[in-house]
Amino acid sequence: MIEQWECERIQDNFFTEKFWEDVRSNYSKLYPDKPDPIPNLKTWKVNYRELKKNTKIPWNFTYEDLVFPYDLGSSYENLVDSLGPIYLWMYPFGHASGDGTVFVKDKLKEDQLNLPFPPDGSNSDPADFIDVHAVNEDTIDDYNEKTVKSWSNFMGETLDDFGVDLETEDYELSKSK
């Protein structure tokens, strides 16, 4: 099950340049033979946000287009998928109906399952996927970018409030400028 704080963190960073640089980096690492950095998804919606001319954020991509492939929608459905029917949970020889790696295919979401998850999950050096000499001050938009340590949701809760120990996690805590 995808934790709620992870969904909120991704949603809050969804319209930042750094998020999409990380998504493109992860996708190119997973699929080095594909020339296009992001696949053209059939389910993209028209999004009428105003973006800069040379932005790295896709025009027609919304947060709802992200797929959390191992989350079936509710905690109960996730438990039934991993433990089997509820009447077998206490039975010593009870088992799940599947192996936990096969999911029901939804044609609307099927084309999105080849995107990396979490989309910005790898700790990558920006020099690996950005031409550092080509970046100038005009293309850097730091206004909406948040680090893992400074992230908070709309109610002011931080990752520490959700029990995430940032000191033991292997996250990049400072933003490079």
Whole-model pTM over 0.85:
no
User: Tokens 């993209």 — which residue?
Assistant: 44
How many domains does the structure of the chain reveal? Answer: 1
CB-side neighbour CA atoms (13 Å) of 115: 23
Inside any domain, residue 176: yes
User: Which residues share a beta bridge with 132?
Assistant: none
Q: Is 147 part of any domain?
A: yes
The residues with which 158 forms a beta bridge, in sequence order, are 152
With respect to residue 106, please indicate whether it lies within any of the assigned structural domains.
no
Q: In whole angstroms, how far apart are CA 115 and each of 10, 19, 70, 103, 119?
A: 14, 14, 13, 16, 7
Token readout for 12 is 């809050």
Asked whether residue 74 is domain-assigned, the answer is no
Residue 76 located in a structural domain: no
Long-range interactions of 88-91: CB distance < 8 A, separation 24+: none
Name every residue whose Cβ is closer than 8 Å to that of residue 153 and which is 6 or more positions away in sequence: 5, 8, 12
Q: What is the pLDDT along the chain (177 residues), one digit of tens a residue?
A: 456 777 777 777 777 777 777 777 777 777 777 766 665 555 555 454 555 667 666 665 665 555 555 666 677 877 777 777 888 888 877 777 766 666 666 554 555 555 555 565 544 455 554 555 555 555 555 555 556 667 777 778 887 888 877 777 655 544 443
Q: Is 93 exposed, middle or buried (0-12, 13-18, 19+ CB in 10 A)?
A: exposed
* 117 and 68 Cβ atoms separated by less than 8 Å: yes
Please report whether residue 78 resides in a domain: no
**Are residues 27 and 37 in contact, defined by beta-carbon separation less than 8 angstroms?**
yes
pLDDT at 141: 52
**Domain extent for 41:** 1-67+112-177
Asked if residue 95 is part of any domain, the answer here is: no
